[in-house]
Amino acid sequence: MSNIRINLRGDVREFPSGVTGLEVAQSIGAGLAKAACAVSVNGEIRDLRLPISEDCDLSVLTFDDAEGKHAYWHSTSHIMAQAIQHLYPQTLFTIGPAVENGFYYDVDCDVTFTPEILEKIEDEMRKIIKEDLPIERFVLEREDALARMASNPYKVELISDLPDEAEISFYSQGDFTDLCVGPHVMSTGRIGAVKLLNVTGAYWRADANNKMLQRIYGISFPKASQLNEYLERLEEARKRDHRRLGRELGLFALMDEGPGFPFFLPKGMVLRNTLIDYWREVHKRYGYVEISTPIILNQELWHRSGHWDHYKDNMYTTVIDGEDYAVKPMNCPGGMLVYKLQPHSYRELPLRVAELGLVHRHELSGALHGLFRVRCFTQDDAHIFMTRDQMKEEIQNVVKLFDEVYDLFGLPYKIELSTMPDDHMGEIEDWQFAEQTLKEAITDMGKSYEINEGDGAFYGPKLDFHLEDSLGRTWQCGTVQLDFQMPERFELEYVGDDGEKHRPVMIHRVVLGSIERFIGVITEHFAGAFPTWLSPVQVMVIPISEKHAGYAEEVLRKLDAEGIRAEVDSRNEKMGYKIREAQLQKIPYMLVVGDKEAESGTVSIRSRRDGDEGQLPLGDFISRIREEIDSRTR
């Protein structure tokens, strides 16, 4: 038998052809073999059981790797299905994939899976894990596969939809067998602690015309301590849920009369406008001008931009004077029309044009989620028109702006480069040049990135900025997209230093992503306790009794004159109750005023962060909070 050479992250070793990933892991060490979930062979994720017959680069993937987690969680979904089969044999199973945080399985069962039933399923899962059943892979021809799954119409449909050349693989553990491509861990005993989280409804194949199934979500970890930490973070996330905080803090409302169309309330508008004021300030410093373009434009424009061919299912349309129009899902085409209004010289470039544009996109009702997924939102857009030799510097200028904004909110990030999708416009050479330029711009700044293959916009590659909040969760907000296609489609031009007309290159970019979604993100990031500069109410003045209301109003007037957002709680309630109410509203400062304060012109300060801070002359407090607001201290 011939040998093959396997590169183990710089350590090249020879193995017999046909060696499995598990055997390679065992040759490195028993601990690694026990922890192994899958292998990466020349970048392809494979099952530990599969033979390797070619020279390759190989990495053993454990739970610490994203792909390893995927195999681990996918295996746990099969254990859950096996447990359900033991308890409710009439259940029909559909699909059970791993997802970003755990796994789910969609099942067709007459039994409603209540929390009590989930506990029973968990107990059965633990028995299956304790049995340490080997997980085995086998392949069947199409006819045999259909016969094997004949009693399950969902599996029959999945097999029937596979391409003729597809290998049809199954995985078995004990008395349970499932149609699956894998990869999976070696046995059920490799799974540690498990928890089933919740049940939702899901249409088969996400089609509302199909049957509603029950989707059971779960999570698993090698150690119980890891599961406990995750559940604690989950509980903290529930407390920070922006939908609940938005309601309790009077920021915004979501109503049945407009699913996906949020209502912003007075305090929410203060927060929103303060955020926009900062956005305008920072964009002015970075050399942007601001425009506003119409919400509705005729359908011909959307054909010209390419959106009608690539995005029409997400667009709302209407008819005006017998002509077809569309509500804009993006601001870009309007920005193209503004650029075309007058001739441009190379001396004007780069031209940075920003727009806070209200856009509408048709999202499925099941996908709507608070401010995170809505049907109308304000995109903090900008389009930068430039020459080819300005591309790298402009990308870097955008990233510098991003750094300033994200640092202000304490949101570190990771960058993802999304490359050319199958459904794209333009020449491959332009795409390759654009992707290379994005890579060089980022690496020259000392920043790293990950590749997201094939997930670029239809008109160009992009850099996505995934922000990490205080709970370690990530949110995709900022994006930088290079575009050679729109300038071509709209025949944009500038006169170069040679006196000839040339086609500009364009950057599409957003920093917040959308005003609404970013408000949702920072609401959860700060748990509703916004920095003083951003808080809708910065100071609550609390008179000890009714006779101190006059001095409280005087304090309010002086705060208001200094541009400090303040209110007076003059209700006939006990002091403790008023203080508690202000704390629940996450107000940064409470100023308690009584006889001593009125006589001396002072205020007694209680801060959200430090509690009782004693007395201070009102003027000194105003100077202090004014400094905190102006410096935008976190």
570-584 pLDDT, tens digit each: 998 888 999 999 999
Residues 408 and 499 in one domain: yes
In a domain, 322, yes or no: no
Cβ contacts of 147 within 8 Å, gap of 6 or more = none
Residues 72 and 49 in one domain: no
Residue that is last in its domain, among 478, 498, 525: 525
Q: What is the CATH number of the domain that holds 601?
A: 3.40.50.800
CA distances from 615 to 539, 590, 603 (A): 15, 12, 5
Quote the pLDDT of residue 1.
61
460-503 pLDDT, tens digit each: 899 999 999 988 888 989 999 988 888 988 999 999 999 999 99
Q: Nearest CA to 176 among 143, 135, 141, 145?
A: 135
Single pTM value for the model: 0.82
CB distance 299 to 326 below 8 Å: yes
Residues 271 and 413 in one domain: yes
Residues 336 and 435 in one domain: yes
In a domain, 74, yes or no: yes
Residues 144 and 273 in one domain: no
In a domain, 307, yes or no: no
Residue ranges, the chain, pLDDT below 70: 1
Quote the pLDDT of residue 159.
96
Residues 36 and 105 in one domain: no
- Domain containing 99: what range? 67-232
In a domain, 240, yes or no: no
Residue that is last in its domain, among 467, 493, 525: 525
Q: In what order do the strands lie in the sheet with 462-468?
A: 289-290, 351-360, 376-386, 505-510, 474-483, 462-468, 413-418, 450-452
Residues 57 and 75 in one domain: no
Residues 548 and 433 in one domain: no
- Tell me the β-bridge partners of 463: 417, 480
In a domain, 531, yes or no: no
Distance (Å, whole) CA 551 – CA 543 = 8
In a domain, 496, yes or no: yes
Residues 464 and 480 in one domain: yes
Residues belonging to the active site: 332, 361, 379, 381, 383, 462, 508
Residues 196 and 157 in one domain: yes
Residue that is last in its domain, among 525, 550, 585: 525
Quote the pLDDT of residue 472.
86
Residues 383 and 521 in one domain: yes
Distance (Å, whole) CA 281 – CA 594 = 40
Tokens of 529: 């306790």
Q: What is the CATH number of the domain that holds 25?
A: 3.10.20.30
- Tell me the β-bridge partners of 418: 452, 462
Q: What is the CATH number of the domain that holds 365?
A: 3.30.930.10
In a domain, 475, yes or no: yes
In a domain, 242, yes or no: no
Residues 520 and 550 in one domain: no
Domain count, the chain: 4
